Each structure stands twice: as C-alpha cells, then as structure tokens.
Amino acid sequence: MIEKIKNIEKDVGKLSSLQKLLLTTDGSITDILEILTGSEVKIETIYQKIGKADEYLAERLNISEGDEINERVVRIYNSNNDKTLIYAKSYAPLKRTNDQFSNDLFKADIPIGKILKRYKIESRREIKDINFLRADKNISQVFGIFENEILLWRNYSIIKDGEVLIDIYEMFPYNSFQNEFKVVIETPSRLHLTLIDLNGMDKRIDGGIGITLSKPTFLLEAKISDKLQVFGLKRSEDHLIDQKNHILTAAKRMLDYLGIKTNVEFKIREDYPFHIGLGAGTQTSLAVGRSVAELFDKELNATDISKIVGRGGTSGIGTASFESGGFILDGGHSFGELGDKKDYLPSSISVAAPPPVIARYNFPEEWDIVIATPNIKRTYGREEVDIFKNYCPIDISEIRELSHIILLKMIPSLLERDIYSFGESINRIQKIGFKKIELDLQPQITKELIELIRDYGAIGAGLSSFGPTVYGITDKNAKEIETKVKNFLEKEGEVFVTKARNFGARVRKF
C-alpha cells in the first residue's frame, strides 16, 4: 500500500493523511467518516439489482459463474448537509448471506459496517487495490464536482470464514478530505467561425462570431504555495512548454496587478492542444487569472482578467465563451491613429482590450457539432502575423457581403432554429473575406475534410480560426459522420461529437 500511494502521488500530487487513511483502513469506513465529520453518516441506494456472476466476478468472489449476486451502488453522505462523502459499489454472493443480513443489506439503507455490528458478524477487511480515475458525468453529479476531476478509489473484500462475503469499490474526490484552500476551474473551448472586418474603412476592424463548445474542456486546480509552479499532463514537449509559459505568464501578470507577493501552484487535470483552432491559449490564461482572483478573494470579470493577462486583442469570442458561453457576436476594435488598434494583428501579439459583445444567444442544444483535427502543421506565431500583413486589408465588398449573411441570415436562422439556413451561412462564409484566405492557405487534407463532412451529411461545415480543426453542424447523423471521418483520417487526427455550451467557465472553491 505504501508503494501504491507513492505511485498515485507521482501522478496526481500529494495525498493528505486523511486520504491515506480512507484508502488503506481495514476498519469501518462509516465509523471513520462520522469521527471526521462529527455527524451521523447515512447511505442512499442509487441502484440495486440481483443478477448472475460473470466470469470476472465469479473469480473475484470465488463462486461459480452464473451464481446469483446482489449488485448495489450507494452514496455515503453527511446527514447534516447532504454532502456525498463516498460513492460505493458492492457485490455480494447470495449463497453466503443469511435472511436477516440479506434483508438489511438488500432492502435497507444501512451502512455495511453497522449491519455487521448489528448481527455480530466476525469478519475482516482485505484491501485488494488502490488507485485513481477521472469522474464521468454520472459520478461528477453525485459528488457535485466537474467531469474529469480526479477520484481516488480502493477495492477491498469483507471476508467471513475464509470466503468473500462482499466485494466493495469505494471512491471519493481527490479534493475532498484535504485541509487546504483550493480553487478548481473548468472552462469550455470554442469555435471561431470568422473575423468580420479586416478592412477598417469605417475606422473599426476585427469583429467575430463563434460558438462555445462543451468539449474539450480545460480543468485546473490552484492553491497558494511557496513557489510559482505548474504540474501538467503528459503531452508533447512543445505543448508542455507552450502551456507552462501561458500559465506562468498569466499568473505573474495577475499577481503583479493585484500586488500579491505570495505564489500559486497549478495542477492541470484536463486540457487540449494549443494552436488547433479551439482557443486553448485564451481559456488557459483566463482560467489562471480567474483562479488567482478567487484564491485572493478579488472580484474581476472575464473582460478585466483578459486585459490583465493579455488576451482578446483581436477576437472577443474566447473571453465571451469563458464568461457566458453560447453563440457570440463581438463588435471588434476602433481602428486608426486614435483607435485601439493601428494595424491588422492576430490576438497573439495585439495589446488591445477585448472587444464588446454585440449579441449573445443560446445555441440549439439539439444540434450536434462534429469536430475533426488532422495531425498536420499548425499556423501560429510569426506565420500568423505575416498572413495578416500580407493579405489585409480585405476588399470592402466582401466585408459587406459577410456582414449581410451574419446579420440577416445566420443569426435569424439561429433564433428560428432553422439548421438548414444556418448551415448555408456556414458554407457561404468559407468563401468570403478573411476566412476564404485562411482556408485557401490550408493543406489539401483540410479542404477535403470540410467537403467530406458535408458529403457525409453535415448541413454546414467550415474551418475554425486558422485551423487545422474543422467542424460540421448537423441534427441527426453525427455519429455516422464521426465514424466516416475517423476512417478517412486513419488515426492521423482526432474526431469527436460535441454540443454547444450555453454557459461559461465554472468554479469550485473549498
């Protein structure tokens, strides 16, 4: 168990003494929880059924395949505040239980430890394994945490007369049973459909439209520390360097702005690649900024944080996605000698403040979004700057056509939930203005992907930002499109189906 704990700590961070106790105790977990919480602990049965043991369970329980077993899922909770403390799943062979024990175990919400005491059953607990996993949607709802947060788990058996009476799996959040003030923040991602005006004739440039995505997400833990440090996921070296630089830069800017000399430790629990068109840079920086503000009890909105950490200099879609989610239209920046911007620049080097949001609408939740990111060269940095310089200004006639499509076709079709008109808007945008340039500069595979997604059934398909991520909007055959695109890419890329997210970043403090 000592070695297993060390291995867990290498991957997820230090465990508290209480966590180590809960993972390794061979005593009653309910007794320990009542001592820790100072209140009565109760259980609620979430799911229960009698079934037959498969080969795996038969081996674990030392019974014959096909023997009857009781499977039960419960939550153990604090009776004072209804907070879930432990999520547990148990398997009990029916042939090893007497009628009274079975009645309490299978029909009553009584902790197992108390049932054993009630019937004076002499038994012992044998710890089989301990480890960690990530919370799925169901378990995250049980604990009131975010999906993909770390859960610690253990498996043990209650042994009576040398036989397994019950086999139990228990789990609890990594951020429970720790005596530290922490902030956990979960952000969305986004599609950037197009920039609108890179002409500037009317003394305004940029402007953009985008859709906030439910997946992928960025999940970050932060706590006050002696050192400013980052612990990340195991990705490519280039990604880790880029990610660490974003986090450290944003953290230093926030701490300096707030006049705070204390440092912060960050742990990345979930992320997605930079420079693929899904806005990882902005979400990472804003998550860091918000977590620092929360740690030191400072009230700052997403626009304030964006200014401090240096995001939103061209597009306001990332900032607005972080703030409120949904479908977003931003109004760009004033342009010229007296304006916020004096040149055509990408967000990566622009120092302008985030632009105002002109409109924000809920995106239809019944519409699916297919995301495909091929493993190809990514456009960012100096190359991105050069594209702005070489191709701007865009002809004003294209700006007017694009504006007309957005104002009098795309947004009305969104509000009327007319996916066909919305899809037509997406398709037309790929052939106009700066988006046409972004798409023309893409490798052939990116262009083929967009056409294939349409051919496979998407109503509209396009390029997000500078790519290489492309997307398709549909309302009926998303999984079929996903499968066909995966076959086309032959594992040389990532493909998944997601939904729009009509809310912004979420924060937990404890």
The answer to whether residues 189 and 150 belong to one domain is no
191 shares its domain with 70:
no
Q: Are residues 398 and 498 in the same domain?
A: yes
101 pLDDT higher than 70: no
pLDDT tens per residue, range 393-418: 999 999 999 999 999 999 999 999 99
Backbone torsions φ then ψ of 105, nearest 5 degrees:
-70, -40
Percent of the chain exceeding pLDDT 90 equals: 77
Alpha-carbon distances, residue 286 vs 179, 278, 291, 293, 380 (angstroms):
26, 14, 8, 10, 19
pLDDT of residue 95: 85
Residue 491: the pLDDT is 87
User: Do the domain assignments include residue 293?
Assistant: yes
**Secondary-structure percent of the chain, ordered helix, strand, coil, rounded to 5:** 35, 30, 35
Kindly give, in sequence order, each residue whose CB lies less than 8 Å from that of residue 351, ignoring residues fewer than 6 positions away.
Answer: 310, 313
- Residue 391 pLDDT exceeds 90: yes
- 83 with 123, same domain: the answer is yes
Backbone phi, psi, residue 345, to 5°: -140, 145
Find out whether 230 and 247 touch, Cβ atoms under 8 Å. yes
Structural domain count, the chain: 2
Decide which of 139, 173, 207 is a domain's last residue.
Answer: 173
Q: Is residue 179 part of a domain?
A: no
Q: Is 104 part of a structural domain of the chain?
A: yes
Q: Do 163 and 309 reside in the same domain of the chain? A: no
Q: Residue 414: which H helix or E strand, with range?
A: helix 411-415
Is residue 80 domain-resident? yes
Same domain, 145 and 254: no
Among the candidates 173, 207, 241, a domain finishes at 173
Question: Do 139 and 231 fall within a single domain?
Answer: no
Q: Where are the beta strands (DSSP E) in 227-381?
A: 229-231, 263-270, 327-330, 333-334, 357-361, 368-374
Cβ contact 169:89 at 8 Å = yes
Question: Are both 275 and 156 inside the same structural domain?
Answer: no
Check whether 485 has a pLDDT greater than 90.
yes
- Residue 409 located in a structural domain: yes
Instruction: Give the phi and the psi of residue 492 in degrees, each rounded to 5.
Output: -95, 55
Give yes or no for residue 119 having a pLDDT over 70. no
pLDDT in tens, 342-386: 898 887 777 888 999 999 999 999 999 999 999 998 887 888 889
- Residue 178 is assigned to a structural domain of this protein: no
Domain identity same for 106 and 191:
no
Crossing angle of helices 444-455 and 433-440, rounded to 10°: 110
278 and 153 assigned to the same domain: no
Q: What is the pLDDT of residue 105?
A: 67
Q: Tell which of 141, 173, 205 closes a domain.
A: 173
Query: Is residue 195 located within the same domain as residue 167?
Result: no
Q: CATH no. for residue 30?
A: 3.40.1410.10
Domain assignment of residue 358, yes or no: yes
Domain housing 62: 2-173
Identify whether residues 310 and 164 lie together within a single domain: no
Can you list the alpha helix ranges (DSSP code H) found in 108-220?
A: 112-118, 137-143
Per-residue pLDDT reduced to its tens digit, 299-354: 999 999 999 999 888 899 999 999 999 999 999 999 998 889 989 888 777 788 89
**Taking residues 231-245, what's their average pLDDT?**
79
Residue 494 pLDDT > 90? yes
Q: Is residue 61, in this structure, part of any structural domain at all?
A: yes
CATH number at residue 476: 3.30.230.120
